[in-house]
Amino acid sequence: MKVELYNYIRAAQKMNRRQMLKGSAALGAVAMIPKASAQAAAHGSVRAEILKIPGVGAGSPTDSDWQKVGEMCLGATKENVAEGEFAGVELTFMGLNNQNLHNFLFRGFLKPWEAYTGAKINWIDLAQADYNARLQQSIATGTVDFDIIEMGAPFEGDVLGRGMASEMPDWVKEQIDMDDYVDYLKDPVGTWDGKTYRVSIDGDCHTFAYRKDYFGPDGIGGAEVPTTWQDINAVTKELVGKEDPLTGLPAHGYLDPLKGWGGFGFYFLENRAAAYAKHPNSPAWLFDPETMTPMVNNPAWVQAIQDVMDLIEAGAYPADQINADPGTTAFQQFLAGTGSMLMWWGDVGSSARTSDTSVVGDVVGFGINPASDRVYNAQAGAWEETRNEAPNMAYIGWGVYVMATVEGDEKKKKAAWSAAAHLGGKDLSLWASAYPSGFQPYRQSHFQFEEWEEAGYDRAFVEDYLGSNADSYNHPNAAIEPRIPGIFQYYSVAEDELAKGYAGQYGSAQETADAIAAAWEKITDQIGRENQIALYKASLGI
């Protein structure tokens, strides 16, 4: 179905049967289709059409592309909002400008929404490293100067638990089709005390990306792609002094970010630690759920820190890696042809094929978080010599939340939720998953291979990339992110102590881990241990 015909049908649904039959025979025939069938057909057409903008291999999308996609996905908004209904309303939106994604896309997506509804959006743009501090300041002082925020579920304990957000209206739930979310993004994620607050726009987990040209019968990294951290560490050391087969520059193995990223860098140590520390007998791997005693200095976590220190000592990383944050490892290193293995959020997969800066699109493969050939049983206080997989559900994805600042002004409240619903719409979300956006697949409908092929992806790549996401989401031993107050206070101080350890300021991995644990204990006492225990248990389903 053509987009023009789709728009005609939308308008026609507001007309009576006699008026519709005045159209041409062709349009009249379409009008006779039951409403649900017509909507489904139009829905499918929109998805196919937006995936052609600009098309895989056509270069990075631009602002005009984002605006086209936003315009073509306005159908659901028009069902709930009259043209010009929000005239005079101004909203402030706080989000990221990370890697020229996130807010940059939101501006484009929402420009046609603004033109149709009459509302105006003012923007607060934050770098990734500045995000945590800015939000924590608002939480601590109660001075919320934004109406809508792009935020991750880990902050829900701080924001929702303090009553700082607006509860989602039922019409929004219907517009965004929440039943389509992958299971791990459903209740309790996005909810607090039985109320729903979050429009999901992402479904985060870390997946493994690797260069196929490094591995194989004649590969400089060996015949097989490493599947355990022990093998990854060995291969990374063995690659020192060799030549990259794609660029001719020095070859490198796994890329650890050694610089903090406003708390977000801690997730990358977690990838290693999860395989060592997340035992299948318990969902807890960061704190003891009975006491909130940190587990971050147990033998599993110490091993993860030791891994990184060993690679630093071996000179296995690119030059000046001590100043490389996760954005550097993904976008300036791996996608640009430096290094052969990386853990990152899944949107590296779509960027590999659709970003102008990527040179590895033809040689990249994907998998879940590597395993360990042994796992630490914290309950028994001993290592077990058994293979263990534990995908890291890092950050549980970005969402859009409406703040309580809109309460008391129904027009403004509806406008804010309409903007959030547009950004989290089912069709628009497919485009954001397939193209560089900062987001990865998070809906069941995102895993239809045929739709990705229509955009220009080849089937083998799609099955590999989407499979790594699905296998992580559905893994029985996934390491789940706790939604507790202060979580990024814990992560940020951990980054600070890790930086000291990597720079040699601590005498060992154990000493570094002990420093993190001591800092975590202080945070827990400041927030309130008993309350933290209760919320930590609840977040893990204990």
- Supply 69's token pair: 């996609």
- Supply 143's token pair: 């001075």
**Whether residue 7 has pLDDT greater than 60:** no
How far apart are alpha carbons 79 and 83 in whole angstroms? 10
Q: Which residues pair with 388 in a beta bridge?
A: 372
92 vs 4 pLDDT, higher one: 92
**Whether residue 21 has pLDDT greater than 60:** no
How large is the average pLDDT for residues 18-43? Answer: 38
pLDDT tens-digit profile of 381-420?
999 999 999 999 999 999 999 999 999 999 999 999 999 9
**Whether residue 32 has pLDDT greater than 80:** no
Token pair 């058994």 is at which residue? Answer: 386
**Whether residue 170 has pLDDT greater than 90:** yes
Report pLDDT for 43: 62
> Whose CA is closest to 454, among 2, 37, 45?
45
What pTM does this model have?
0.88
How far apart are alpha carbons 314 and 208 in whole angstroms? 23
> Whose CA is closest to 307, among 345, 274, 264?
274
How far apart are alpha carbons 365 and 341 in whole angstroms? 10
**Whether residue 81 has pLDDT greater than 70:** yes
Question: What is the b/e burial string over 363-402, where b = at least 16 CB atoms within 10 angstroms of the residue's CB?
Answer: bbbbbbbbbbebbbbbeeeeeeeeebbbbbbbbbbbbbbb
State the pLDDT confidence band at 180, using cuts at 50, 70 and 90. very high
* Maximal CA-CA distance, the chain: 83
pLDDT tens-digit profile of 49-76?
999 999 998 999 999 999 999 999 999 9
Report pLDDT for 42: 54
How far apart are alpha carbons 447 and 443 in whole angstroms? 8
Q: What φ, ψ does residue 74 adopt, rounded to 5°?
A: -80, -5
**Whether residue 40 has pLDDT greater than 60:** no
pLDDT tens-digit profile of 322-363?
999 999 999 999 999 999 999 999 989 999 999 999 999 999
How large is the average pLDDT for residues 211-232? Answer: 97
For the chain, the first-to-last Cα distance in angstroms comes to 49
| pLDDT, mean over the chain | 91
Report pLDDT for 6: 30
Percent of all residues in the chain with a pLDDT value above 70, rounded to a whole number: 92
Q: What φ, ψ does residue 376 adopt, rounded to 5°?
A: -90, 125
Task: Answer whether 520's CB lies under 8 Å from 526's CB.
Answer: no
Report pLDDT for 253: 98
Report pLDDT for 238: 98
**Whether residue 29 has pLDDT greater than 70:** no
What are the strands of the beta sheet with 198-200, ordered from one edge? 120-126, 90-96, 148-152, 398-402, 198-200
Task: Answer whether 304's CB lies under 8 Å from 276's CB.
Answer: yes
DSSP-based three-state secondary structure for 487: helix
State the pLDDT confidence band at 298, using cuts at 50, 70 and 90. very high
Range scoring the smallest mean pLDDT among 4-8, 367-371, 463-467, 502-506: 4-8
Residue type, 173: K
Burial class (CB in 10 A: 0-12, 13-18, 19+), 141: exposed
Report pLDDT for 55: 94
